[in-house]
Amino acid sequence: MAKSTTYDVRLELVHRPRRLRENPILRSMVEETRLSPRDFVYPMFLCEGRKVRAEVPSMPGIYRQSVDKALEEMEETLSLGVRAVILFGIPSRKDPLGKEAYAPQGIIQKGVRAAKKAFGSDLLVITDVCLCEYTDHGHCAPVSEGRILNDAGVAIHCKTALSHAEAGADVVAPSDMMDGRVGAIRASLDDAGFEHLPILAYSAKYASAFYGPFRDAADSAPQFGDRRSYQMDPPNAEEALKEVALDIEEGADIVMVKPALPYLDVIRRVKETFQVPVAAYNVSGEYAMVKAAARLGWLDHDRAMMESLTAIKRAGASILLTYFAKDAARLLRNQGV
Ligand code: PBG
């Protein structure tokens, strides 16, 4: 008589979750999280000049480009179903106060005007409101005797946000992490008749190592010290809820957590605590890691990308700022989604 081996075991199970995983059609029908190109915001770096298009070495596929070239890429982005961009500026001049940030002929102001002229309401143009790309010291507010001046920074961010609004921006996104900037920007916009313009606040923005490649792209690394006196400390999550609560009280319409993948718990808690849309920034370092590992043959690029973006959405973000926007949209289109 044959002895029963482990292979002959037959469990009497009522629940077999695997039943829903076997058939690919059924598997896709029970998917709880589904990405769409409409979820994505594509970050772009604008610089002065004409016909300039220089790849950022640590961000393959991402370029610093002049406005004419950026318009071509916006057209491509739209054709892939990605309908929103966030613009970062690389000015030709930097100074201690970051004056180019609010110059009427500044790079962002020119870029926004050109984008709105070319694409009108087909494209949502979000502008990053910050100073680190515009100051010679690379901090997000003016500096005096080594200290980062909060209130002076807020005053400049208000002017910057207003100049973006005047240029035609659809949404302004303050990313500086100065205290009180959302309320102050809201008041300045309202005073100037832009009460309809939404604010996407970088509310829980951590002092992260994952911004490294962005600082190459935007030439915005601090020239002394670091950003830890204004960006959040990575161990803190309760504090993120406080930052988000303050921004909502001050008038933020959408709140953002940044970076995304190392802070999925924060995204989830913000989503469960507040009744406003949550955005997440899948930042430069998160992008660079996947690109680098894929180049080395250590990761499957497309699978790692989709898994990352799906996780960010599953955690609770409905708006995903990501350098993968075009790659992911192309993949979704090829899959017939
Ligand atoms: C600051 C800003 C940064 C990013 C977006 N806005 C950099 C920083 O705080 O140093 C980082 C985005 C990324 O890494 O992709 N204005």
CA of 275 to the centre of ligand 1 (A): 26
- Is the predicted pLDDT of residue 4 greater than 60, yes or no? no
73: helix, strand or coil: helix
Query: Is residue 192, in this structure, part of any structural domain at all?
Result: yes
How far is CA 156 from each of CA 89, 103, 144, 278, 319, rounded to the nearest angstrom? 16, 11, 15, 26, 27
The answer to whether position 1 is within a domain reads no
- Tell me the average pLDDT across 97-123: 97
Is 21 contained in some domain? Answer: no
Bond before 24 cis per omega within 30 degrees? no
- Work out the burial of residue 5: count CB atoms within 10 Å of its CB; fewer than 13 is exposed, 13-18 middle, 19 or more buried: exposed
150-201 tens-digit pLDDT: 999 999 999 999 999 999 999 999 999 999 999 999 999 999 999 999 999 9
Q: What is the pLDDT of residues 296-323, one digit of tens each?
A: 999 999 999 999 999 999 999 999 999 9
| CATH number of the domain to which 231 belongs | 3.20.20.70
Is 242 marked active-site? no
**8 Å CB contact between 175 and 128:** yes
The residue range of the domain holding 207 is 34-334
| Inside any domain, residue 59 | yes
Rounded Cα gap, residues 41 and 117, in angstroms:
19
Atom 10 in ligand 1: which residue has the minimum CA distance? 211
Residue 4 within a domain: no
- The number of helices, as runs of H, and strands, as runs of E, in the chain is 11, 12
How many angstroms is it from 211 CA to the middle of ligand 1? 6
The protein residue whose alpha carbon is closest to atom 2 in ligand 1 is: 175
Give the pLDDT of residue 219: 84
Please count the structural domains in the chain: 1
Rounded to whole angstroms, the Cα distance separating 180 from 53 reads 37
Nearest CA to ligand 1 atom 16: 130
pLDDT tens digits, 47-74: 999 999 999 999 999 999 999 999 999 9
Residue 259's pLDDT is: 98
Please report the pLDDT score of residue 216 as a whole number.
Answer: 87
Q: Is 17 a domain residue? A: no
- Is residue 303 a part of any domain in this protein? yes
> Considering the domain boundaries, does residue 141 fall inside one?
yes
